[in-house]
Amino acid sequence: MKWDNLITDYTIFLKLERGLSENSIKNYTYDIKKLISYLEEHNLSISPVKISNETIKQFIYEISKTANPRSQARLISGLRNFFDYLVFENYRDTNPLDLIESPRIGRKLPDTLSVTDIDNLINAIDLSYQYKGVNLGERNRAILETLYSCGLRVSELTELKISDLFFDEGFIKVTGKGDKQRFVPIGETTQKYISIWKGIRNHIDVQANSKDILFLNYKGKKLTRAMIFTIIKNLVEKIGLNKTVSPHTFRHSFATHLLENGADLRAIQMMLGHESITTTEIYMHVDRSHLSDVLNKFHPRK
């Protein structure tokens, strides 16, 4: 079997059986294509059915010269999943990565903003800013408020639809990784800013494929992920904030501030859309002082 044929079958498996998004599938196949490039560079004509453990180890050794441990671990994980699929489909008897260990990496702690940082960023937005007759200042405020108050991923924000807003019930419907949907509470302040933007949006000539998309550019098209990064980057520079801030920083801050104020970890997990509670537990590093408060408040022998 040729690489291309098996990769095509694998992508179909990831989409239909695993329910992964297009972005996730691209990441999985990117690792395989790096291996193929290595084989071509070294004139090694080996099919995925025949490739050996020794060839894989040599490939990873070459990668380790330029990639950090985290990148190596991701690569090994991606390849292991691919060859597990080949074993599952009976193309191979064994996985050539079974005896290959991932490098040890420390858990990366998320960057967070203080409440003051977030207030300063939002207050720095020029609410009168217009472009081509469209008030983008009000849109930008609604975007940052939604990122922070609902803990959304940037892709979830750009895909958020008007039909996903259930303000009377106090929730929004969010479509996350693998097209899995969840309901996230939304506060009255964020509802107000979104409503202001919706009033402005009503006067935009919206493109046919974006009729239900909430956040648009001045042309009436869905915003790109890059545009959200740019909006935040410009505000960070404007207030002189000496931190690396991305849309995901608002999501981390959302979880961190909830935890610091006594929110239940399981509830945070549900709002973030994490499949595993262990993913959410990374936020336990941020401020352990509240754990002492819980002990003092609830333990009978405090």
Is position 299 annotated as part of the catalytic site?
no
Is position 248 annotated as part of the catalytic site?
yes
Strands 165-166, 171-175: pairing is antiparallel
CA distance 231 to 38: 38
Is position 65 annotated as part of the catalytic site?
no
CA distance 14 to 35: 19
Is position 274 annotated as part of the catalytic site?
yes
Catalytic residue among 80, 139, 222, 251: 251
Is position 251 annotated as part of the catalytic site?
yes
For 96-161, give the DSSP string: TTTTPPPPP-PPPPPP---HHHHHHHHHTS-TT-EETTEEHHHHHHHHHHHHHHHT--HHHHHT-B
Catalytic residue among 80, 139, 141, 153: 153
Catalytic residue among 15, 182, 221, 274: 274
Residue 210 has a CB neighbour count (10 Å cut-off) of: 18
Catalytic residue among 74, 173, 177, 225: 177
* Contact status, residue 72 vs residue 64, Cβ threshold 8 Å: yes
CA distance 210 to 139: 16
Which 3 state secondary structure label does DSSP give 182? strand
Is position 288 annotated as part of the catalytic site?
no
Residues designated catalytic: 153, 177, 248, 251, 274, 283
